[in-house]
């Protein structure tokens, strides 16, 4: 047996060595080609590699002169191939173009918004979705996407929360890495590979007041411990490109931020790809007040480490002049060009520059739509289910009322950032419910034309439909246009008269199941008291209808969990699970409720803790929360031993039993607290999670292995350290759990 183990170890080491040698040899060959090409390039041709422009029309002369590196938003394959032919055959050096597009959550087959994908807590499934998106995009000649967005955000007012993976760096890292690997595949030169772009570097999600593009003020330790880890994970996953953010960070705009783009990304993390600006963000250094003019903007952005300029023209206008005058050294130009050309060689563009759509499967094929349906099903989060009203039993229903502005909204269910999605390809919830139950059983009355409707014209028909039915399926939320870039909301309650619609339908006394489609958490706690069940569906994509019907009618048990904390009211924002304890932490015992205590007994000295006297300190729903059609019991939570040394791997385990009658998936979550640190530590932090399938009546033993290094943080000198001391851990179904496992690190 020992000889066999030894042989296996030798074989594994040999395979690793061979793989490493192959990679090193490939890189050496690319380096040789890149250096040879740079030696032949004029300064104009070098600067051309730093330029990205929108659209392909009228660009032939630029391409012929070698003055363009990448083209945005051209999806006509004939136009692409023609422009690529000019680059390959008519330019002096034959350097190919990269065609780029925002492929954010699907191409023609639209997946749930990224926030919804995060709610699956299933990185493997998210990876499959990204790979499918890459295949569809490649069939239209797109070789580079500006995704994933891995900005941690704790403010649901921010419109772009829809485009990211929520409030936690561990979950965001896992989803970001899965997306990158799905897009890029095993090799960038693969037939189905699409170049990923980790964005927005950095801390874009921490914009003040949730206003897009706004100021960010983040202490460096918080920047490194909360906002940067997903980007570091992206480097380790070999993301080919990064995008500089629009925002400023502590007074320095990200696009001209040498600390971020050079010190952290290049020097500390050894990033080998290239950095592209966001749309015109180089020029916007002037608007920020960080650059005197466009020339100064070009200098500050380029010397900070932004290699390619998107859309605006500062580089092409001023870089040559600055090199010739000695302000910018040509070797700095060479470094940026070297990074860009290296990626182009890795992508195989020099060998395979053209696109033949016949090499790819049809978009929106059955397999792709089924994958979209699977991801959407797992993204649905059951927030409430009183009296087990769900799942519905078709045979027990005489009539079902389908009400609400989002029941049959084929465009809105696709969500934000869907350049290539078409509402004609959507299957809506109304259609799916009619298919499942039969049209004769379904009474449809939208009640409101859109989510923002401010009149009651449709209420009467909706109320009548409810009265005729055994159950009401109420589709509420916000239209897709209400979230996304530059679509921030100060009031994140249900828009329009939707809460009034809920009240009127509730008066009928019929059971109400609300399905919420939205690009962010919404606050409607009071109205929710009139609902029997709430299924949070985000914007689920092309196959929203079948996915929602699958869960409503019990074909699939809901398994989604919240990737972001839901506030009770907008005034609680920011509210997130990984908060600090403070010197006067709030508790149920210390919270004085201003509406429940008589004036003469209301003494602030009694409740002298960090709560709101009107809304307390707890959220509506905690991070990681989500119900199922079954119940899970956690027991035997334990750590392998009580004391670990620095450098060890900590072993945790728990037994999870499906105590109900329904087969289901559960997201098992591990949280840890460092009790004392040289910097104060959060009350708990997600360390790991696993999504497991457990049949009814069965149990699963779930193990976690956590290196002590992952429990570290940045100290006062910004060194990453894991400090010795006492820790608590807890394993459960959401972040609102007891930490009852004790261990010590020496």
Neighbours of 411 (CB within 10 A): 16
Residue 685: enclosing H or E segment and its boundaries? Answer: strand 685-694
| Contact criterion met (CB below 8 Å) for 177 and 198 | no
- The rounded distance, in Å, linking the Cα atoms of 507 and 114 is 36
Alpha helices in 41-107 (DSSP H): 43-48, 60-64, 77-85
- The rounded distance, in Å, linking the Cα atoms of 415 and 104 is 11
Contacts of residue 577, defined as CB under 8 A and 6 or more positions apart, other chains included, come to 167, 168, 565, 622, 623, 624, 684, 735, 736
DSSP string over 236-272 = HTT-SEEEE-SSEETTEEGGG-HIIIIIIIIIIT---
| Contact criterion met (CB below 8 Å) for 50 and 98 | no
Contacts of residue 552, defined as CB under 8 A and 6 or more positions apart, other chains included, come to 390, 391, 392, 433, 473, 513, 515, 535
Strands (E), 393-508: 400-403, 442-445, 471-477
The one catalytic residue among 102, 278, 307, 339: 278
Contacts of residue 418, defined as CB under 8 A and 6 or more positions apart, other chains included, come to 104, 105, 106, 110, 480
Q: What angle do CA 611, 612, 618 make, to 5 degrees?
A: 65
Beta bridge partners of 685: 672
- The rounded distance, in Å, linking the Cα atoms of 625 and 603 is 34
| Contact criterion met (CB below 8 Å) for 687 and 706 | yes
| Contact criterion met (CB below 8 Å) for 281 and 199 | no
Produce one character per residue of 398-410: b if its CB has 16 or more CB atoms within 10 Å, e if not: ebbbbbbbbbbbb
CA dihedral of residues 89, 90, 96, 97 (deg, nearest 10): -130
| Strand 699-707 versus strand 98-101 pairing type | unpaired
Q: What angle do CA 212, 208, 487 make, to 5 degrees?
A: 25
278 in active site: yes
- The rounded distance, in Å, linking the Cα atoms of 423 and 686 is 37
Q: Hey, CA dihedral for 174, 179, 182, 184, is it positive or negative? A: negative
Task: List active site positions.
Answer: 278
């Amino acid at each position: 047996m020992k000889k066999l183990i030894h042989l296996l170890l030798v074989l594994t080491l040999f395979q690793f060595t061979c793989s490493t040698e192959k990679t090193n040899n490939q890189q050496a060959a690319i380096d040789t080609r890149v250096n040879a090409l740079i030696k032949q390039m004029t300064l104009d041709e070098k600067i051309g590699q730093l330029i990205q422009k929108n659209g392909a029309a009228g660009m032939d002369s630029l391409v012929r002169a070698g003055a363009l590196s990448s083209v945005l938003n051209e999806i006509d394959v004939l136009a692409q191939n023609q422009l690529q032919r000019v680059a390959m055959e008519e330019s002096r050096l034959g350097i190919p173009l990269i065609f780029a597009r925002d492929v954010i959550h699907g191409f023609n087959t639209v997946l749930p918004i990224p926030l919804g994908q995060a709610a699956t807590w299933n990185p493997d499934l998210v990876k499959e979705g990204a790979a499918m998106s890459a295949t569809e995009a490649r069939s239209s000649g797109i070789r580079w996407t500006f995704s994933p967005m891995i900005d941690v955000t704790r403010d649901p007012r921010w419109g772009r929360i829809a485009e990211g993976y929520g409030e936690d760096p561990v979950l965001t890292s896992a989803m970001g890495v899965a997306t990158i690997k799905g897009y890029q595949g095993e090799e960038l030169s693969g037939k189905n590979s699409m170049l990923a772009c980790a964005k927005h570097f950095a801390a874009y999600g921490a914009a003040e007041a949730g206003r897009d593009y706004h100021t960010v003020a983040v202490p460096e330790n918080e920047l490194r411990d909360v906002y940067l880890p997903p980007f570091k994970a992206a480097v380790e996953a070999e993301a080919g490109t990064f995008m500089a953010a629009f925002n400023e960070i502590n007074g320095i705009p990200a696009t001209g931020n040498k600390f971020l783009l050079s010190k952290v990304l290049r020097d500390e993390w050894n990033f080998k790809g290239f950095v592209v600006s966001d749309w015109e963000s180089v020029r916007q250094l002037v608007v920020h007040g960080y650059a005197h003019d466009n020339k100064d903007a070009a200098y500050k952005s380029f010397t900070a480490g932004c290699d390619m300029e998107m859309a605006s023209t500062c580089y092409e206008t001023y870089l040559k002049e600055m090199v010739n005058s000695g302000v910018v050294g040509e070797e700095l130009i060479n470094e940026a060009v070297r990074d860009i050309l290296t990626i182009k060689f890795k992508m195989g563009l020099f060998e395979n520059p053209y696109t033949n759509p016949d090499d790819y499967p049809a978009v929106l094929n059955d397999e792709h739509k089924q994958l979209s349906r699977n991801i959407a099903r797992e993204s649905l989060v059951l927030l409430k289910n009183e009296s087990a009203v769900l799942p519905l039993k078709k045979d027990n229903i005489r009539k079902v009322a389908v009400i609400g502005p989002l029941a049959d909204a084929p465009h809105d269910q696709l969500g934000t950032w869907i350049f290539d999605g078409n509402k004609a390809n959507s299957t809506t919830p109304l259609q799916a419910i009619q298919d499942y139950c039969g049209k004769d059983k379904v009474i449809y009355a939208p009640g409101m034309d859109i989510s923002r409707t401010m009149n009651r014209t449709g209420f009467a028909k909706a109320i009548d439909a409810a009265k005729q039915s055994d159950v009401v399926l109420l589709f509420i939320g916000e239209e897709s246009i209400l979230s996304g870039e530059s679509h921030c909301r100060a009031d994140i309650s249900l828009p329009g008269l939707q809460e009034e619609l809920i009240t009127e339908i509730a008066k009928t006394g019929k059971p109400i199941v609300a399905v919420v489609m939205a690009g962010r958490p919404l606050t409607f706690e009071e109205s929710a008291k009139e609902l029997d069940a709430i299924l949070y569906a985000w914007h689920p994509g092309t196959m929203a209808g079948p996915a929602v019907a699958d869960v409503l009618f019990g074909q699939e048990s809901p398994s989604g969990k919240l990737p972001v904390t839901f506030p009770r009211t907008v005034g609680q924002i920011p509210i997130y699970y990984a908060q600090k304890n403070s010197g006067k932490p709030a508790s149920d015992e210390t919270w004085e409720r201003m509406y429940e205590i008589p004036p003469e007994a209301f003494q602030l000295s009694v409740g002298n803790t960090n709560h709101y006297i009107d809304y307390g300190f707890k959220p509506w729903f905690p991070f990681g929360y989500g119900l199922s059609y079954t119940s899970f019991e956690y027991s035997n939570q334990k750590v392998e031993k009580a004391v670990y040394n620095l450098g060890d791997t900590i072993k945790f385990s728990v037994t999870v039993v499906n105590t109900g009658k329904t087969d289901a998936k559960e997201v098992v979550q591990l949280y840890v607290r460092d009790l004392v640190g040289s910097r104060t530590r959060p009350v708990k932090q997600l360390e790991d999670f696993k999504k497991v399938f457990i049949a009814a009546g069965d149990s699963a033993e779930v193990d976690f292995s956590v290196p002590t290094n992952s429990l570290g943080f940045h100290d006062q000198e910004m060194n990453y350290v894991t400090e010795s001391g006492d820790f608590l851990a807890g394993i459960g179904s959401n972040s609102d759990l007891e930490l009852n496992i004790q261990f010590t690190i020496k």
